[in-house]
Structure 1
Amino acid sequence: MTSSSKEPQGGGAGASGGRSPIKWDEYNYPPFVRIMHFDLSELEGSSRKVVRWAHAGFFLLVAALMCNLLINFVLVCAGVPLKGLHIVYSLFNVIIFGGLGLYGEYASFKGVAASKPSLMRRYILLEGAIVVMSLLFSVMAVANWNGWMRLPQAAALEGPIAPFWFWATVVEAVCWTVNYIVGAVAVYHVVEFERNGPLAFSARATRGAKDAVKKAAGAASVKGAGGIRLARV
């Protein structure tokens, strides 16, 4: 996930000339690990908006994974059957899906900031898969997952741990639900940016594009009318 400081600026702040260029060789993210560069303040306009949505999707993914890990840890301590194995699953999920989400974070930031369509497409495919995964996890009651279908089992459990499992299931299911919604919005923003570049989500740019189309259509009709007149002559 490392890159040279000579990367093109694309939609980054450096492209405007009013701010310093993006410091690609300053590895500051994620905290404590620091294996990539990520700084929203170096972006502006639609670039910042797009990456902010992608960043929110990654944050919610990590929150949902950590919530699942914490819930299973508490259930293990309470002696719920099979939860010892499930906490191992949760740990692997944090590593695997968290790593995939981090790569998506890298692809979205660098793809947008450096105007690299290939990285943006990778993010779209990866985050699209995470959105589908989050949708399934928000519903499933399989193994370590506590989706909406887990509520009847948690409600039927007897003992002091029952209220915790019920409300913890609600929290985890909400986390996954919000995650796939935000992730879908993030994918939409990156798709639009990949198609339209820094002009994406700009009302002024949209009006300008429509005016250009109208002018082109008008010019074509004038030329066509002129050709008809010449043919008649």
Structure 2
Amino acid sequence: MASYVAKSVLNDSIRQLKSNQKDSKQNIDWDDFNYPPLIKVIHYNIEEVQPEYRLVVRSLWLSSILIAVYTLLNIIDNSIQTGYGNDGIRILYSFMFLFSFNPIQFFIFYRGYKGVASDPYLLVLYKWIQILLIMCWITFSIVDILGFNGFITLSYLFDYLPFCGVLALFEDIILLLVVALSGFALFRIWNIKE
């Protein structure tokens, strides 16, 4: 008798929790553009995400912020390197990174956030683009091509331009942090049913 009552109470609690989750998904006002500050092009409110996925959404958000920091550091680093005689084209590459990587990472953040908060179908595209980006971030943290200052170039930079070496090291660490955060989010999101 006691186990029947316990199962009944547990089932009622689960049904109520699922009902509350459905209600919260339906009450999100996606037309309330409130993020990022000053620009306000998307709706973002971490409180509207189910508690078990808030850490995932925060890691996606932090990844997009870190990519913005990375691209700014890359511009500064490549500008200094150009001032010391490296190819000036590195600055152009840095600005190309700024105007391509930031929107892509922001799209991934928003796609993951909206997929977790309301529409798991959006996570299909998120998963594949996130895998591609993780492979890119790993590659960019290693190579010395175009305007990337990967681990391969650190010994050269520390020998001839120590300040640029420190900036390049920070760039590579930021990319590895983005890989870790994105990988964590992808791992947690992968099992959500579309």
Normalising by structure 1, we get a TM-score of 0.68
Q: Is the 8 A contact 2:67 2:178 kept in 1?
A: yes
Residue of structure 2 in register with 1:100 after alignment:
104
Q: Is the 8 A contact 2:25 2:118 kept in 1?
A: no
- Alpha-carbon deviation of 1:16? 6.7
Q: Is the 8 A contact 1:15 1:21 kept in 2?
A: no
Q: Comparing both structures, which one devotes a greater share of its residues to helix?
A: 2
Q: Helix, strand or coil: the match of 1:32?
A: coil
Structure 2: which amino acid aligns with 1:127? Q
Residue of structure 2 in register with 1:41 after alignment:
47
Unpaired segments ≥5 residues, structure 2: 1-16
Task: State the number of aligned residues.
Answer: 178
Residue of structure 2 in register with 1:142 after alignment:
145
Unpaired segments ≥5 residues, structure 1: 1-10, 198-233
- Alpha-carbon deviation of 1:110? 1.1
Q: Between Structure 1 and Structure 2, whose CA radius of gyration is higher?
A: 1
CA distance in 1, matches of 2:157, 2:72: 19
Q: Would you say 1:21 and 2:24 are equivalent positions?
A: no
Residue of structure 1 in register with 2:75 after alignment:
69
- Alpha-carbon deviation of 1:42? 2.0
Distance of aligned partners of 1:163 and 1:98 in 2 relative to their CA distance in 1, 3 Å threshold = same
- Alpha-carbon deviation of 1:62? 2.1
Residue of structure 2 in register with 1:229 after alignment:
none
- Alpha-carbon deviation of 1:67? 1.7
Select 1:81's aligned residue among 83, 86, 102.
86
Normalising by structure 2, we get a TM-score of 0.81
Structure 1: which amino acid aligns with 2:31? D
Structure 1: which amino acid aligns with 2:111? A
Structure 1: which amino acid aligns with 2:86? P
Select 2:65's aligned residue among 47, 53, 59.
59
Q: Would you say 1:155 and 2:161 are equivalent positions?
A: no
Structure 2: which amino acid aligns with 1:130? L
Q: Would you say 1:30 and 2:36 are equivalent positions?
A: yes
Structure 1: which amino acid aligns with 2:164? W
- Alpha-carbon deviation of 1:107? 0.8
- Alpha-carbon deviation of 1:74? 2.9
Q: Is the 8 A contact 2:30 2:43 kept in 1?
A: yes
The 5-angstrom pairing of residues 210-225 of structure 1 reads: none
CA distance in 1, matches of 2:96, 2:43: 25
- Alpha-carbon deviation of 1:24? 1.0
CA distance in 1, matches of 2:120, 2:24: 22
CA distance in 1, matches of 2:124, 2:25: 27
Select 1:124's aligned residue among 122, 127, 131.
127
CA distance in 1, matches of 2:162, 2:103: 32
CA distance in 1, matches of 2:25, 2:117: 14
Q: Is the 8 A contact 1:54 1:187 kept in 2?
A: no
Structure 1: which amino acid aligns with 2:157? A
CA distance in 1, matches of 2:25, 2:173: 39
Q: Is the 8 A contact 2:25 2:117 kept in 1?
A: no
